[in-house]
Amino acid sequence: MSRIAAPPETPWRAGARASFETVIDDALIERFADLSGDRNPLHVDDAYAAATPFGGRIAHGMIAGALFSRLIGEHLPGERALYRSQQLRFLAPVRPGTRVRVEGEIVRHDADLALLIIATRVVAAEDGAVLVEGTAEVVLRAEPAPEPEPLPAAAALAAGAQPLAGRRALVIGGSSGIGAAIARELAHQGAAVALTYRTQEAAARALCSELLAGGCRAAAALRLDVRDAAQFAPAAAAARAAIGAPDLLVYSAHGEIAHQTIERSSFAQLEDEFRRAAGGLYHAVQAVLPGMKRSAHGESAGAGGAGATGATGAPGGGSIVAVSSIVTREAPPPGWTAYTVAKCALAGLVRSLAAELGPHAVRVNLVSPAMTETRRTLALPARVRDDIAARSPLGRHARPEDVASAVAFLSSDAAAFLTGIDLPVAGGIVA
């Protein structure tokens, strides 16, 4: 049914062309009607269309848009294409059974902006009559970035150095995704780790077994629903019994985002998000702060743990890191009101705690990732994920390990003079 022209040798120079031929037949029209839901009788009903000035059925105009998408995505420029816009001008109707040639020609390549301007046409293969013409703007996505060479700090870790040796970390929301990556990284850097879960008990216990097998000196999985204030004190007590009084607290509890407009949402949804974000950190800090203050003054860490002195021999104090989102730093998506308000409240709480707890040698910081490759985001359409990745100067999404490295840095003595900051792990999106 279709014939593809040979791709140009230098597809991104001005003047480069590509084309293919196909037949816009009844089967294609029917598939498009099913896909789009557009069953206007002018396209699908012979009797109706015969009584119109067209004298018979014509194909949907937007089939041309779909064919241009094929041209751009498959041939010019191909797999690195990210469609930005397409203008269309319909010059003549397309009858069912018409063989057409879909053509594209690059009229401008702006290398600095990685932008192609492409003239697009659909012409009748039989006589060359132009049926549809337009202009496409196409962004060239960056090539996948090679894995970076290990930085000196990473090389030191690989050689066995452990900046968090002797520390005791409580990771709230540590059973999967970003939280699980944080638990792994803190354990890799020498910390004993207690992590909490709400429903994923099997995953949490499997992760603890993995940490222990990897050399972590102590690991424990604790059940905690962060929306229930009464559960924090028992969870903190269980953590003290398992690993000693935590001197590192990481708050990485997240729920599913409720996409609701303000008209359709309820204040109860906002309250639920607030409890999960700012409320959870609030109660977690209350539960672990007495132990952190004792650690700052060199007192005993309690059962299961060493004292507060770390690898440097200096008094430890404490570190609190909360995981938020860059949604607080840029225009939020429509329908994310409850989530955005809760994350903004979390950011305000972190700043306030940093000011209050600094005199007690307890640092409080925030890490705000951009879209991160987790189960939730990998379920999004590939085009949505590609569009977001293209916004980053580094040309990709964050990985859970990127967030974990930032959290581990803020938890270590290397960040001893950092408190009250919001560190965007966003590949330059909010630069």
Phi, psi of 250 (to 5 degrees): -120, 125
Q: Is the peptide bond before 77 cis (omega within 30 degrees of 0)?
A: yes
Residue 149 in contact with residue 174, Cβ under 8 Å? no
The HSE-up count of residue 246 (CA atoms within 13 Å, CB side) is 31
Please report where in the chains the tokens 């303000």 appear, as a residue.
262
> Catalytic: which of 197, 251, 282, 339?
339
- Measure the CA–CA gap between 292 and 424, rounded to whole angstroms: 26
Nearest residue to 94 (alpha-carbon basis) of 127, 62, 58:
58
The neighbouring-strand residues paired with 219 are 193
Would you say 57 and 95 are in contact if contact means Cβ atoms under 8 Å apart? yes
The Cα 284–Cα 170 span in angstroms is 10
Contact 243, 171 (CB under 8 A): no
In the chain, the amino acid numbered 110 is D
Task: Give the neighbor-by-neighbor strand order of the sheet with 168-172.
Answer: 219-223, 192-197, 168-172, 248-251, 318-323, 362-369, 422-425
Concerning whether 339 is annotated as a catalytic residue, the answer is yes
Q: What angle do CA 316, 305, 300 make, to 5 degrees?
A: 60
According to DSSP, residue 342 is labeled H
Structure tokens at 197: 């879960």
**Token representation of residue 156:** 């030191």
Just list the catalytic residues.
Answer: 339
